[in-house]
Every structure is written in structure tokens, then in C-alpha cells.
Amino acid sequence: MSQQVFNFGAGPAMLPIPVMERIRDEFLDFQGLGVSVIEVSHRAKQFEAVLNQAKERFRQLTDLPENYQILFVHGGARMQFSALPLNLAGRSASSKCLYVETGNFAKLAHKDAKPFGDIRVIASSADTNYDRIPVITPQMVDQDAAYLHVTGNNTLYGSRWQTFPETGKVPLIVDQTSEMLSRVLDFSTFGCAYAGLQKNLGPAGTALVVIRDDLLGQASPQTPTLLNYEVCAKDNSLTNTANTFAIYVTGLVLEWLQEQGGVAAIEKVNEQKAKILYDLIDAGDFYRGVILPEFRGTMNVSFNLASEELEAKFLKEAGAQGLYALKGHRSVGGIRASIYNAMPLAGVETLAAFMKEFERANG
């Protein structure tokens, strides 16, 4: 492997190289214990310190108020699609839970919730192939509902909520899996925000869940112990054996992010990276963006070429030049460049140079 490879995969996604080097360097001997971090008890004081420090770094990075808990929950983001109604539907006498469908994960979120509440989809952009975020007026948010769930950034298409809807007293829940810590957000406006770790935070299989204290303690009796957020909060995410490696890596990624200057600093870089690609897409009609410009986020840039043959050629030649995993999601097709926090500017510049050259040769 002589040539540098840039990984544009949507998730599991690339991690910062300094973080992976550090994992490698201390892998066999964690903090002088002579054993690996993956061999240490989750109840060892060294590991609990790692867990608590990761939480503290997350709190600092997000300016998270004291009345919010930070949990590490098994099963990635999708497990929370079931856990959320189990924990929260009981807040509403009629167990009414509101959803906005802006992409495939948003759709799975209400589908998985279905057995556990009166699930209502109050708006959807499915009719226009998820090219936009629907307008949500305060009148659309039934104040008797247990919560309103939205997907912050739509990983397949690249659209995002530029501002979140006004929900009154109904808690807003945001699936931030593909945008966690990529832009400055006011967490005090959320009832709950969560993310599978594997896009902006660390390895797959575990989710980080942020939840306001007053939303704990209302889980339905059927809730599995390990999905009960109140139990998880009481046990400091150590009810059973936690994914110690994922939490350790997440702590290192959060430390790296603090070294980059925090969320505001990485947000600037993210905007710069996305602009390079969108400017190129907008410059002609060779590359065709899949979403309307006003809904563009900075994490996933999805576009099509004139034909599937041309897209296949693009992917093949890009791959040969070390531009890895640019294929769009199987349900959307086309090209997708996932450019999460860890993607360096140089990776995007290399992709842009390739795109210009490919257009010149094939346009």
C-alpha cells in the first residue's frame, strides 16, 4: 500500500489517523497495566476513568447542560429506533409519537417504533425522493405527543435540517448519527440526541445517547433492561459489559476534536470541504446533485452522472487512484462522498482534482 488512500465510506467511516496510531501504539499495554485495553475489566478503575473522561469531553464539546445524561447504549443507532418509543411513548396518554420522514433512516425509525406506540408521520419528502426537508409549522406538532423525532442529517442524500422545528413542550429527538459534532448546535433545545458511533465518533455497534433528565423514568414495563435509559444512566452505562473498545476509541476521537479547536473549528473546515465539492457540481451539468441546494449539509455529498455506465467508470477510476468507497447507497445508486470530521481537506481536494479531470476526459 504505497499510494495514500482516502476513505469516503459512509460508515463505518474513517477515523483520524493520529487516533489510530495512538491505538496501535498503546494496544498491547494499556496505561502500563501490561494488558490491552480490550482485556481490562469494564469495572476496572482505569476503564471507568476512560468512560468518564469521554463523557466529560463530550459535555465540554457540546456545552451540554448539567441536566442531560450521556449514555453509551448497545446496538448502534438503529437499536434506539425501538428504544426511544419503549422509553418515551408512555409520556403521552395515547402513546402518540410524531415522526418526520426525510430519508431512509428516518423511515426505518418510525417503522421500528411501530410496535411500541401510536406512531404518526406528520410530514415526509418521500414523494420528491427526499430532495428536501419539509416545513414543520408549530400547528403540526400535537402538544399531546410524547416526542417529535427527526433525522438531523440524511446520510444517503446529504440533506439536513438547517434549523430544527419549534416543538413547544414536546421533546425534540434528533438522530445525529451522520452529523454528531460536525456543527455547532444548542443541545438544550433537544430532549434527546443520539448517534451510532461509527460515522463521527468511533467504531460501530454502540450509540451515544444524550437525554434530558426529566425524560428518564417513564419506560414501558416491557422495555429490555439494556435498552432502559434510566437503568443505563443509573449504572453509568455499565449495566453489563460495555463495548469498552468503542468507548475508549470514542474518547480518543473526542480528544482529537478538542485539539482541532472543537466543534466550531471543525464546522468551518466541514463547510470548506463541502463547498469545494458542491461548487464543482454546480459549475456545470456533468455532475448532478440529488438534493435541493438550500438543504445541503456538509457530511454526505451525493450526486449522479449521466448514466450508470459513466458512474461505474467513475468509481473504477477513482478507486484506482486511492479514492475509496464512493459508491452511493444501494437504495439510491450514484456517487456519495462521505466527508465526516476525520476526512482531511487534502482528501477532498484530491477528489475534486479527480472529478475535474474525469469531467474533462468524459464530458
Ligand X SMILES: *Cc1c(COP(=O)(O)O)cnc(C)c1O
**Residues in the site for ligand X, rule: CB under 6 A?**
11, 76-78, 105, 151, 155, 175, 177-178, 196, 198, 204
CA dist 26 and 219 (Å) reads: 40
Which residue's C-beta sits nearest to ligand X?
76
Nearest CB to ligand X, comparing residues 13 and 348: 13
- Residue 44 CB, nearest approach to ligand X (Å): 27
Helix axes 45-62, 244-259, angle to 10 degrees: 40
Q: Which residue carries 466543534 as its cell?
A: 263
CA dist 198 and 295 (Å) reads: 24
Nearest CB to ligand X, comparing residues 36 and 129: 129
- Residue 76 CB, nearest approach to ligand X (Å): 2
* H-state helical runs in the chain: 17-26, 45-62, 76-88, 104-113, 229-234, 244-259, 262-282, 308-320, 345-362
**Rg of the chain over CA atoms, in angstroms?**
21
Nearest CB to ligand X, comparing residues 175 and 311: 175
Tell me the one-letter amino acid at 226: L
Nearest CB to ligand X, comparing residues 105 and 287: 105
- Residue 201 CB, nearest approach to ligand X (Å): 11
- Partnered with residue 70 across adjacent β-strands are 210
Nearest CB to ligand X, comparing residues 103 and 171: 103
- Residue 264 CB, nearest approach to ligand X (Å): 23
- Residue 196 CB, nearest approach to ligand X (Å): 3
Query: What secondary structure does DSSP assign to 54-85, as a single string?
Result: HHHHHHHHHT--TTEEEEEEETHHHHHHHHHH
How would you classify the pairing of strands 300-304 and 172-175? unpaired
- Residue 206 CB, nearest approach to ligand X (Å): 8
Nearest CB to ligand X, comparing residues 180 and 280: 180
